[in-house]
Chain A
Amino acid sequence: AQSVTQLGSHVSVSEGALVLLRCNYSSSVPPYLFWYVQYPNQGLQLLLKYTSAATLVKGINGFEAEFKKSETSFHLTKPSAHMSDAAEYFCAVSDGGKLIFGQGTELSVKP
């Protein structure tokens, strides 16, 4: 079965600093990978997805992620954090017909 592991349940950055949220996957086949964001008291919404078309994937709100097969990683980055980026971020992998989520990383942004 496919799985993802998010390293760090909580990340804190200063406004304007680089955001790096880590995700490693376990998959026996080329995976489909996703990053979702959840703002307080809301559902999850898609940031970006990887479907093997390109290893560097650009998403909404200035986020991007790079698929690295050699490292089995799909880390999420944003060059400059904004206060509005404070939320919980989930990495996910498609497993057959299902989407399996990591444990989530809460991002805090300090002024």
Chain B
Amino acid sequence: DAGVIQSPRHEVTEMGQEVTLRCKPISGHNSLFWYRQTMMRGLELLIYFNNNVPIDDSGMPEDRFSAKMPNASFSTLKIQPSEPRDSAVYFCASRQLMGTGANVLTFGAGSRLTVL
């Protein structure tokens, strides 16, 4: 398997522009997570989906952020409009949803976003 695939790997944009980050989870995984990593706040969970349904979006910073999972093999995280404080590395991770929380998350390589 190719692992969790994220695109783009790097994005530089100007304040006010729309940003869309993409994620393809591992085939057969039915739980998907979006995390944001910054120096100041570390790794923050933004949202996660089980079977394409959003379960917890309490970590989404504000209404400028939205995430979708239209099918089992694709998810997007959108920021509109973007602001400099959104600059971070955004990680997507997936796992098989089973009976316990012991299942391992597999992470993508991340999308590094810089908003000027």
Q: Which residues of A contact B (CB under 8 A)?
A: 32, 34, 36, 41-46, 49, 51, 90, 94-104
Contact = CB atoms under 8 A, between A and B. Distances in A.
Interface residues of B, number: 24
Contact of B101 (A32, A42, A45, A104): A32
Contact of A32 (B48, B56, B100, B110): B100
B91 A44 contact: yes
Contact of B42 (A36, A41, A46, A104): A104
Interface of B: 4, 31, 33, 35, 42-43, 45, 48, 50, 55-56, 91, 93, 97, 100-102, 104-110
Contacts of B93: 43-44, 99
**Chain A interface mostly:** strand
A49 B105 CA distance: 11
A90 B31 contact: no
B47 to A, nearest CB: 10
Nearest to A51: B102
Contacts of A100: 45
